[in-house]
Chains A and B, each alone.
Chain A
Amino acid sequence: MVQAAVRMDEAELIRAAQQGDQRAFEELVRLYDQSVLRLATNLLRSHEEANDIYQEAFLRVYKNLHTFRFDCSFHTWLYRIVSNLCLDALRKRKVRREESSVVETSEGPLDRMDAVPERRADGDPERSLESKELKERIREVLNGLTPRERAVFEMRHYQGMRLRTIGEVMGTSEEAAKNCLFRATQKMRAALGDFV
């Protein structure tokens, strides 16, 4: 019942903002901007880049809100913009820093993350539990995921979004989002298996 009331408030805010009500637009921003900043920060692991995404996303929303026709939820529409911006940033970064984990071999493209050993023979179990080392390892693993895998994983794991919604946001099917999440978690399990 309250959920319906909240949605109605949001729809009213959108309509008011579409009519040029600046205060309504800013209130609309505040409904979602915390989670947008959180997603961008966690995905890009850079406060500066996350702020850039935040600015660009809401400026785009502002300029294009008049085209929003309630065909999908505002949340999905907004996250589509945010995830596209984040994916672009991650792809540029991959190219810039040559971070790609995919290498060409004589047997075709090989994802280096697939070759991460299940166990480290020389690993000290006590030390491996140290959170600093673990966090560093997780960061490495996340950098090794493809931008798409990374985005799907972040939205599911840290934002708690359902795969169906993630599919809508990414412009793909729920099944494709599921496969993407599956690959991401498989790589992480392979790389972090001996840390936990």
Chain B
Amino acid sequence: MTCEEARKNLPLFLYGELSFDEEELVESHMDGCAGCRTALAREKALFAALDQAETLPPPRQLERSRAELHRRLAAARMRSEVPAMAGRAPESNWWHKFREGFTIHFHFAPGLAQVAGAAAMLALGFATARMTPNSLFGNFHSAGMVDPGTSRVRYVEPLAPGRVQIVVDETHQRVLSGSLDDQAIQRLLLTAAKDPTDPGLRVESVDLLKNDSQSAEVRKALEYSLEHDPNAGVRLKALDGLKQFAEEPDTRQVLTQVLLKDDNPGVRTQVIDLLVQRHTDAMVGVLQQLMEKEDNNYIRMRCEKLLQDMNASVETY
């Protein structure tokens, strides 16, 4: 391989996108060519500079985007843009009918059917008011129709001229207390641990759940949070609960993925400390892979030290 060919291949070499044979040729050329080793060092510096130039979304953008998507999906459903999934038309879906019951349709020029519908709704309203506790519906204001404490207008959608459709979210609160061992309580905590809207709730739920990580379901939930939760605080709590299982193959596999993918250096630092408690051949590959892309100096130093301790090469190329 000539110097020109070797240098041409440097980016693909660094990305690990050369074939085994091509990589061998580049490596053997590098061994005997100081000029190309310098070129490789420059290419690495270029890659590091490009890493620094990444434009990341602002901190709360993901939450805002999710909230907007939620609203737009609700609007799409209201416009009956629900696809006919698995041969089931939305109009024939019981859920659609059920949800329709909670959708307020205003018809400013009602026909006979609408009058009949309105009368039925009125009757339903009286019946509901008699059958449900006052605390739920007793404070409705006749003008607004919506109790601001427990309800929220989620979306307002103009329809044909003179008509509007409104989606109202209603929250009915109940207070539950019980032992952490109680399965019903645990199920609620597992649900809360995945609540996308409230990172604080997720932190507290995961914190409580981690005390019962002997349960397979809880451990699976902790692994899921560690791998997928967008909030680093939640991930750290989940990691805390998984520490005692660092030797288990399943957990170890998750920890490895997190080490290679998590964007938070704090999480990666704790994971690396956990994983290297046991030196295995598999760890060598993982650490070498990490070295290829890790930009945190502390973690790089830790990696290098560990690889040296294991008598392994610091680089894979």
Q: Which residues of A are in contact with B by a Cβ distance under 8 Å?
A: 1-3, 5-6, 17-20, 22, 25-27, 29-31, 33-34, 37-38, 41-42, 45, 47, 50-51, 54-55, 58-59, 62-66, 131, 134-135, 138-139, 156-158, 160, 162-163, 178, 181-182, 185-186, 188-189, 192-193, 195-196
Contact = CB atoms under 8 A, between A and B. Distances in A.
A72 to B, nearest CB: 19
A196 B57 contact: no
Contact of A192 (B49, B51, B88, B90): B49
Given A1-B250, A45-B55, A181-B15, 5 more contacts: A1-B253, A2-B223, A18-B85, A20-B82, A181-B17
Interface in B63-110: 64-66, 68-70, 72-73, 76, 81-86, 88, 90, 93, 95
A19 B72 contact: no
Contact of B64 (A19, A51, A64): A51
A1 B85 CA distance: 31
Contact of A55 (B48, B54, B69, B88): B69
B100 to A, nearest CB: 14
Given A38-B56, A59-B72, A158-B54, A33 B65 contact: yes
Main secondary structure of the interface of B (DSSP, over half): helix
Contacts of A37: 57, 61-62, 65
Interface in B253-272: 253-254, 257
A65 B85 contact: yes
B293 A160 contact: yes
B56 A31 contact: no
B53 interface: yes
Contacts of B50: 138, 157, 188
A19 B250 contact: no
A192 B52 CA distance: 14
6 contacts: A1-B249, A41-B55, A51-B61, A55-B68, A162-B17, A163-B17
Interface string B184-201: 000000000010100000
Interface residues of B, number: 54
Contacts of A66: 83-86
B17 to A, nearest CB: 5
B20 to A, nearest CB: 15
Nearest to B47: A157
Nearest to A57: B69
Nearest to B249: A1
Interface of B: 8, 11-12, 15, 17, 42-43, 45-58, 61-62, 64-66, 68-70, 72-73, 76, 81-86, 88, 90, 93, 95, 194, 196, 223, 227-228, 230, 249-250, 253-254, 257, 293
Contacts of A20: 82, 85-86, 88, 90, 93, 95
Main secondary structure of the interface of A (DSSP, over half): helix
- Which of A17, A20, A25, A162 is packed against the most chain B CB atoms within 10 Å? A20
A162 B18 CA distance: 11
Given A2-B253, A182-B11, A42 B55 contact: yes
Given A47-B61, A134-B49, A196-B46, A178 B17 contact: yes
- Which of A22, A30, A160, A185 is packed against the most chain B CB atoms within 10 Å? A185
B57 A59 contact: no
Nearest to A2: B253
Contacts of B48: 196
A1 B64 CA distance: 35
Given A18-B86, A55-B69, A138-B49, A189 B253 contact: no
Given A30-B228, A47-B57, A59 B254 contact: no
B62 A135 contact: no
Given A19-B88, A66-B83, A196-B42, A41 B56 contact: yes
Given A41-B56, A45-B55, A47-B57, A181 B68 contact: no
B254 to A, nearest CB: 5
Nearest to A131: B52
Contacts of A58: 69
B227 to A, nearest CB: 8
A186 B9 CA distance: 10
Contacts of A6: 227
A158 B81 CA distance: 35
Contacts of B93: 20
A55 B76 contact: no
A64 to B, nearest CB: 7
B5 to A, nearest CB: 13
A62 B49 CA distance: 38
Given A37-B57, A47-B58, A195-B49, A2 B85 contact: no
